[in-house]
Structure 1
């Protein structure tokens, strides 16, 4: 397996979510790695855009973003949860407004074939707004059972896996008590994806288009 690396130098990251906690659940360990790179070299910036969420959930999300990536910028649109497709135009306008302020090299977004309609819309629009960025489409475990084969993997150390859960559980107290909200859920996902890339743990993404320089 050939390993691919992000280039050195400035890296602009945008994290897109339909709901607070989507990004951190899907790629929290990867974000921790990017934050460590930024702490060492000061060359990574990050902005979060979340489409739905109450004021309470938005505050949780802002605190979580800052914990996963210190200095991250957070925006919340507060559309109705579960109703994003009814606001297609407004959602795209919101994303394009962020793109004007935050051009990106790397986008984290849901998959365009995610079972949740809000996720699908955000994931589909991501590459139409940031056309020259690498879009890593992330996965989220859910009742619908929509996990699919992925194309790209980011290995994660056991320490980052533990830190990811610690920060998730600390900042998203509104989710505590749900039957799927526990450390085992997220570590098991990462353990299975790790097997697929010869690592102990990993977060996995789907990429529909990438340019390889040789």
Structure 2
């Protein structure tokens, strides 16, 4: 683990409880959950083996488990995994294995082990985007689904954040962001790794989105999620 990766993990350790609480209080978090719940409901089936790479407090792991999948969920933050295990006990879901681990630990797992790989807002914190996506693709069975999200580089709000961070050092989380991508760039990366893009969506409107919304989702929404199928 590099020092920069450790910094990102420490950051998520510090915000674990407040981040998870967002799903209870924030309309933007509820929008995220609704979109991912729909994607998981359509692309994950009962009996599937699912990897949640960077599971946080387990929100999407629970969605996959509810449809009958067997879920392996990892996160570098012990605080996040503690929250996930506590919630797992409350829900009584036994078909999830939560583990404190970094994504580089996945290199030791067997190729083609999973039917579906999920990764929500994780890869932007790692320095080698293509290498990390390739690591996840290797774990997919032929025909398996890759569902990952990251910051939308076409978002005007994201562009403003980058400028503001360069001038003021805020927003502070931006210190840990290594990459963003447009839908076109992410689709090209998928294809380069023998993954056929299936669908993509933009979500998470920024504060004061009224004017930006008139420019279209690809310019206003701050996050991008893409589903792909590993070519057989």
Structure having the higher helix fraction is 2
Range class of TM-score, shorter chain: 0.3 to 0.5
Greater RCO, CA 8 A, separation 6+: 1
Length-normalised TM-score, structure 1 = 0.45
Whichever of the two has the greater Rg, that structure is 2
